[in-house]
Chains A and B, each alone.
Chain A
Amino acid sequence: MTFFEEQLEQGIFQICYCRKCNYTIWPPKEICHKCYSKSDWKKSTNIGKILEFSKKASMYFGLIEIDNGIRILGDISSTSTPKIGQSVRMNVSFNSKPNYSFIVENN
Chain B
Amino acid sequence: MNKVAIVGTGQTKFSKDDSDIEKLLFESSSKCIQSMNDCDSKDIDGVLVSTNNNSKYLGAILSETMGIQPKISHSIEHLCSSGTNAIISAYAYISSGLSDVILVSGVESATNPGQILEWDKSRGALEHPIYWGSMLTKSHKRKFQTTEEELAIVSAKNHKQAMDNPFAYSNEARTISEVMNSKQITDDLRILDCSRSCSGSSSILLASEERAKILSEQPIWITGIGQKTTSASFTKNILEEIESTRIAANLAYKMAKIEAKNIDVAEVHDAFSVCELMAISELGITSNEKSGEFVRNLFNTENRMINPRGGLIGAGHPLGATGISQTIEITNQLQNKSNKRQISNTKTGLIHNMSAAGTSSSIMVLQN
Residues of A at the B interface (CB closer than 8 Å) are 4, 26-28, 51-56, 61-63, 70-75, 84, 97-100
Contacts and interface: CB of A to CB of B under 8 A. Distances in A.
Contact of A27 (B121, B126, B137): B121
Closest 5 CB pairs of A and B: A71-B235, A54-B134, A55-B187, A27-B121, A100-B124
A61 B125 CA distance: 11
Interface string B117-135: 0111111111100111011
Given A52-B135, A54-B134, A73 B122 contact: yes
Find the residue from A4, A52, A53, A70 having the highest chain B CB count within 10 A.
Answer: A52
Given A63-B135, A73-B126, A56 B239 contact: no
A15 to B, nearest CB: 13
Contacts of A26: 122, 233
A46 to B, nearest CB: 14
A71 B239 contact: no
B175 interface: no
A52 B137 CA distance: 10
Given A52-B135, A56-B187, A73-B122, 19 more contacts: A27-B119, A27-B120, A27-B122, A27-B233, A28-B121, A52-B138, A52-B239, A54-B138, A54-B186, A55-B187, A56-B185, A61-B186, A63-B235, A72-B235, A73-B123, A73-B234, A74-B124, A97-B125, A99-B124
B193 to A, nearest CB: 12
A9 B134 CA distance: 28
A98 B74 CA distance: 34
Contacts of A51: 239
B261 interface: no
B289 interface: no
Interface of B: 118-127, 130-132, 134-135, 137-139, 142, 185-189, 233-236, 239
A100 B124 CA distance: 6
Given A27-B119, A71-B235, A53 B138 contact: yes
Contacts of A52: 135, 138-139, 239
Contacts of B185: 56
Contacts of B138: 52-54
B243 to A, nearest CB: 15
B365 to A, nearest CB: 32
A62 B121 contact: no
B239 to A, nearest CB: 6
B127 A97 contact: yes
A27 B122 CA distance: 6
Given A27-B233, A52-B135, A55-B187, A71 B121 contact: no
A97 B118 CA distance: 9
A53 B139 CA distance: 9
Contacts of A100: 124-125
A100 B122 CA distance: 9
B219 to A, nearest CB: 43
A70 B142 CA distance: 23
B170 to A, nearest CB: 24
B235 A73 contact: yes
Contacts of B124: 72-74, 97-100
